[in-house]
Structure 1
């Protein structure tokens, strides 16, 4: 099974858990076109899912070129990116999209460069600007957030972004690590949680659409309704500006399919049974965690 099971040990503690990225970085699933259409529909309906500070222009262009170039490297049979000085031509045969643009000239694209790039990949994209030996959320297109809002968090420092997380010292070390990356370096980490149904958009912006059901926790079929959510996160030091590109790819798997892999089933039960109270509260697993663990144990 290709699902990125996120738990490497029988217990879980908050950690940076980064490792060097391996190809492919950008996920292209069987429903690639449908996912991109859903992402664009959310952005068109709710423009606040995209933010960009005025000073984030160079880093946004840096992210655009890196993302479009990466699609060409990972899918050479379908995608190409040709360069002639500052002029580029990008073509995605699968999507039927071709775009010519000049680096740094916003008028050569139909929208902001980061928004243009964010519509062409399945991952949410965030640009963390590096200034004064700190990272700041300068720009992003995030439509599949998990209990946060890009519009609210825009402009925050790395430390402020991770303020609610237990063990904040972990992210102090993580920020130092990211600031030491060389241009072009790419790392990967996995985050996880449990949710009802397979909805990728659990943002605070969409809370009225999913929050009441989550609070009520009326579950008729645990195996079908409760899903393990993995966020495949990549962190890339962009080559031209030194900003950090943060990519978040969401995958979900119903517990019935988790239970079909014995090692996954036993490990998830062990993790849920031994979560520290502060981590359980942070991940909102006070009720859903024991419900899932009991169901998996009975399998």
Structure 2
């Protein structure tokens, strides 16, 4: 059974509507950031009104959570053009999440975890459960992106993108996946905090899926490689600009204020996402490490598939 959490789809809908709304305000782009490498003594907190989108440990069986998410979503005024775009972002996000979970099954990740727990010699000693899970998540992202590219670009008749121009499609895929990754792990505010845990830095996740998309294009549609690179980057940059606008308005108090007597004001609400830190030099060596984990897990998956254990 493949489970795609309905909460994730509802959150990406509300977030995408809000990001597009901020872009539609035609305001100057103001990036509100600290360094992605530096520790900060300023306590960080989530703007109260953004908790339904970015908060951790959603009690989704609690009707209050859904009421709060609905209230946030209703703050964004309806717009036919924007809502059509959002429906496509939801479709792209759902496909990626579905394919991601499918890879976990097809690559025998449950079997690999079971072998790791029993110290089976097939699993290298340096691959503890945490590193193994991280490699699995990277593999799931990469293979999901490869299949997403094949589905959306190489077999457009099989989906609703039949008449989609390649430029628009690559832009939308990039924006949707950037927003999806930018929605997660927002409580880890420095690059170093991503050295542990099952998922890499959101930028690294995006780079992996972008490279997977490019690989499929180079192999099957070399005529689209330059288009995919240009418009994929445009979609990413536009999403990052939308997050910057969201953060600016957090500082201006649009999404709530700290409780009376708090030591810091609304500046404690930014940065919301680490999605924008694409220039941080510390990301490159970490991506190389995560790629090695991915290749090791992919090799182990093949060994399981061909009955070597």
What TM-score, normalized by structure 2, do the two folds share?
Answer: 0.25
Between Structure 1 and Structure 2, the one with more helix by share is: 2
Higher relative contact order (CA 8 A, sep 6+): 2
